């Protein structure tokens, strides 16, 4: 009885958090694929957003983009100030 109660609580938790809905949608998408992929697991990972481990280069690129945005904002401000002087 206790095991059934725990299972039911866990099922409700998955349902409230949207996990069951998301899994159902991805499995339906896989079912409706005309040509089934070689790896169903890779298909699920891809559609659930966990297709690959984080690439170290990706973090470096994110940092570079953030720095470039800061420099861009500074240049825009400088441009506005210089235009005001002219």
pTM of model > 0.75: no
| pLDDT on residue 65 | 94
Radius of gyration of the chain (CA): 24
Residue 54 is predicted with a pLDDT of 64
- Kindly tell me if the per-residue pLDDT of 51 is higher than 60: no
pLDDT of residue 50: 61
- Looking at residue 52, its pLDDT comes to 54
CA dist., res. 68 & res. 16, Å (int): 40
Residue 17: pLDDT over 60: yes
Dihedrals phi, psi of 79, to nearest 5 degrees: -60, -45
């Amino acid at each position: 009885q206790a095991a059934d109660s725990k299972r039911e609580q866990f099922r409700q938790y998955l349902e409230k958090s949207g996990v069951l809905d998301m899994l159902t949608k991805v499995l339906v998408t896989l079912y409706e694929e005309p040509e089934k992929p070689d790896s169903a697991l890779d298909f699920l990972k891809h559609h659930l957003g966990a297709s690959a481990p984080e690439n170290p280069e990706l973090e470096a690129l994110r940092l570079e983009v953030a720095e470039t945005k800061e420099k861009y904002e500074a240049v825009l401000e400088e441009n506005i100030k210089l235009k005001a002087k002219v």
